[in-house]
Amino acid sequence: MNANDITKIAFDIFNNGIDQYHILNTVDQEFKNPFSEDTFDYLLYKKNWIDTVQWHYEDLIRDPNIDPKKGMELKRKIDSSNQDRTDMVEYIDSYFLDKYKDVEVSNNAEVNSESPAWAIDRLSILALKIYHMKEESSRENTSEDHKTKCKSKLDILLDQKVDLSNAIDLLLNDISKGKKYMKVYRQMKMYNDEELNPILYTGGK
């Protein structure tokens, strides 16, 4: 896979996953990955599916009339989803680390402030924003002013998609040529760790 092809492939996979989710449009539906487990496409599809489900978790938890017990259940699901999301980012970065492990890094190469996978994470979220803003810009039971505002926001999101895609492609191209190198900081999340969250290791005392 050429470095310059990755964002196009990724965005197509993200859109496919988002479309598939919205056929049933429920957070409780079964996850089915159409790609082989040992492929990069599998990672991309799973990453976006996690993001898509979490997007709708975030909608549900903002219901002003939500039952407090249900709200707490959703909060825990969101926490778990955030952990899964971070794990998937690390799997994707591991793919890139392996892909470019034999590249000879130039003496003046620089490390990027953001790893390729975290940039792709933003592209996945952007695909969701574009999908839902398109939906809002054509929603029938709303005003023309609402549609106009949403179309304006959609134009900005589409412009952002071009810029972000170009930035990711450039970063991967530079890494493939040794002009930049990857330096991945593994997750340091503390709130889910029984040894680091005081509420967990003291039993809430």
Spans of all domains in the chain: 3-201
Q: CA separation (Å) from 31 to 48, 65, 72, 125, 134?
A: 11, 28, 23, 18, 24
The pLDDT tens digits for 98-156 are 999 999 999 999 999 899 999 999 999 999 999 999 999 999 999 999 999 999 999 99
As a whole-number percent, the residues of the chain with pLDDT over 90 amount to: 85
pTM: 0.90
What is the rounded distance in angstroms from the CA atom of residue 70 to the CA atom of residue 60?
10
Q: CA separation (Å) from 196 to 7, 72, 184, 189, 192?
A: 36, 22, 21, 9, 8
Average pLDDT, whole number, for the chain? 92
What is the rounded distance in angstroms from the CA atom of residue 182 to the CA atom of residue 172?
10
The pLDDT tens digits for 146-190 are 999 999 999 999 999 999 999 999 999 999 999 999 987 766 666
